Amino acid sequence: MPGPPADTIATLLVSCPDQRGIVAALAQLLYGHGANILDADQHTDPVAGQFFQRIRFDLSQLHTDRTSLERAIGEVATRLQMSWRIAYGRTPKRMAIFVSKFDHCLYDLLLRHRAGELACEIPLILSNHPDLQRVADQFGVAFEVFPITRDNKREQEAREVRRIEELQIELVVLARYMQVLSGEFVARHAGRIINIHHSFLPAFMGSKPYHQAHSRGVKLIGATAHYATSDLDEGPIIDQDVARCSHRDSVEDLVRKGRDLEKVVLARAVRLHLDDRILVYGNKTVVFD
């Protein structure tokens, strides 16, 4: 049988100090308002003493309205010292893609979006170079260039912030955007900027990680998608993958293998975020599959 339509589905993400009765409290609350739980997943970190849960439920038989439901969740959250957020299925997130000159991640995201794999809107591709205008034109997405130099970086970044806020962008994806965002930019959009780093972090941070890997003679190379923070390449990790390599591989071979990983890892991380499957705590993530 077909499931409920997307516009009647909501997803609730919660985290709080671990204690007895959390699951029952949330289940009873949702049942009492007429919501039908479709699936639920939970995790407890015994070291941190934290509890995490993702609940996906159907609103079509709701006895009350969404405002009343959220108020009730807020009351339980206060009692249990709980952080929470709710997302409604009928409202796709708005995503902007930041790029420079590399096109492989950009192409992959746009193709997946066209195929319906990424449930979002893409109002804007933003770049510090004009090179990828042709790609944006192929997919009918607006492309804007903000050239950045050492002298105008703060001014251009302020313009970028204004632009993504004008467009009500909810997620920024750095698809091999070769600029370091300021601490102010990152703080303003905390937990809403995903970066792809062409290395299996925490190994080989910074620039030219494939060259670093080659010089160390590694037997595995990788790619890491993470939330951007003010600490370069040290944000909470969302997804990673690796490929085998050997002494026969040149730097160019590592780059070729790595680009395949970058595309897949970034797409997975973006999809997880869009599907509201990630909770951040400290510098770690809980990712519900």
- Report the C-alpha gap between 192 and 179 in whole angstroms: 17
Q: Is residue 233 among the annotated active site residues? A: yes
pLDDT > 90? residue 279: yes
Question: Do 194 and 278 reside in the same domain of the chain?
Answer: yes
pLDDT tier for residue 245 given thresholds of 50, 70 and 90: confident
Report pLDDT for 251. Answer: 87
Say if 129 falls within a structural domain: yes
Question: Do 136 and 260 reside in the same domain of the chain?
Answer: yes
Provide the 10 A C-beta neighbour count for residue 123.
Answer: 16
Report pLDDT for 201. Answer: 65
Provide Rg for the chain, Cα atoms: 21
CATH of residue 21:
3.30.70.260
Query: How many structural domains are present in the chain?
Result: 2
pLDDT: which is higher, 198 or 275: 275
- Report the C-alpha gap between 135 and 212 in whole angstroms: 30
pLDDT > 60? residue 1: no
The answer for residues whose C-beta is within 8 angstroms of residue 214's C-beta and 6 or more apart is 249, 250, 251, 254
Residue that is last in its domain, among 65, 88, 111: 88
If you average pLDDT over every residue of the chain, what do you get?
93
Give the domain extent around 78. Answer: 6-88
Q: What is the mean pLDDT of residues 229-255?
A: 90
Give residue 217's region: left, alpha or beta (phi > 0; psi -120 to 50).
Answer: left
Say if 250 falls within a structural domain: yes
CATH of residue 210:
3.40.50.170
- Give the 3-state secondary structure of residue 37: strand
Question: Do 13 and 113 reside in the same domain of the chain?
Answer: no
Question: Do 193 and 156 reside in the same domain of the chain?
Answer: yes
pLDDT: which is higher, 231 or 176: 176
Given CA atoms 152, 110, 96, 135 in this order, what sign does their dihedral have?
positive
Q: What is the mean pLDDT of residues 140-159?
A: 95
Residue that is last in its domain, among 25, 53, 88: 88
Q: What is the mean pLDDT of residues 81-102?
A: 94
pLDDT > 90? residue 4: no
pTM of the model: 0.92
Report pLDDT for 163. Answer: 97
The answer for residues whose C-beta is within 8 angstroms of residue 41's C-beta and 6 or more apart is 53, 54, 288
Q: What is the mean pLDDT of residues 160-179?
A: 96
pLDDT tier for residue 91 given thresholds of 50, 70 and 90: confident
Q: What is the mean pLDDT of residues 63-86?
A: 96
Question: Do 276 and 246 reside in the same domain of the chain?
Answer: yes
Q: What is the mean pLDDT of residues 149-154?
A: 92
Out of 58, 108, 233, 239, the active site residue is 233
Residue that is last in its domain, among 88, 112, 129: 88
Paired tokens of 90: 């009928």
pLDDT tier for residue 202 given thresholds of 50, 70 and 90: low
Candidate from 3-12, 59-68, 83-92, 125-134 with smallest mean pLDDT: 3-12
Q: What is the mean pLDDT of residues 206-234?
A: 84
Question: Do 76 and 110 reside in the same domain of the chain?
Answer: no
Report pLDDT for 2. Answer: 61
